[in-house]
Amino acid sequence: MKALVFALAAALLAGNAFAGGDAEKGKEKASQVCGACHGPEGNKPSAPDQPVLAGQYYDYLVQALGDYKSGRRNNAIMKGFASQLSKQDMEDLAAWFSSRPTPLHNQR
C-alpha cells in the first residue's frame, strides 16, 4: 500500500513539474537574460538579494513571473523583463528552473 501511495504521489509531482513548459526551451530563454543575475541554472545569484530559482516549484515560478508582469509584485527590473514574456515563455522558464538542482544538492 505504501508503495502505491508513493508511486501515485511521485506521478502527480512529476506531471506538475513541467505542466505547460518545455525545460529545454526554458534553458535557452534563461541563458539570454536570467543567468546574468540568477546564474545560468538559477542557483548562483550575483547578489545576495537576488533569489535562487533552481528547484523552486513550477507553479510558484509561473505565478511570480505573472505577478511581476501585471505589477502585483513590485520590482522595476523584474517587471521590465517579465513584461516581455508570453505565458509560454513563463511556463518554459518555470520548467527549466524547477528542474534544476538547488545549491544544497550541489554541495553533496
Q: Which domains does the chain have, with CATH numbers?
A: 2-103 (1.10.760.10)
Q: Could you read off the pLDDT of 23-51 as tens digits, one per residue?
A: 999 999 999 889 999 998 999 888 888 99
Task: Write out the three cell numbers for 44.
Answer: 548562483
Average pLDDT, the chain: 84
Better pLDDT: 30 or 2: 30
Angle at 53 between CA 47 and CA 55, to 5 degrees: 140
Question: What is the sign, positive or negative, of the torsion defined by CA atoms of 32, 33, 35, 36?
Answer: positive
| Secondary structure, 3-state, the chain | CHHHHHHHHHHHHHHHHCCCCCHHHHHHHHHHCCHHHHCCCCCCCCCCCCCCCCCCCHHHHHHHHHHHHHCCCCCHHHHHHHCCCCHHHHHHHHHHHHHCCCHHHHCC
Residues 6+ away with beta carbon under 8 Å from 33: 81
Record the pTM. Answer: 0.78
More confident residue, 88 or 46: 88
Please provide the size of the chain in residues: 108
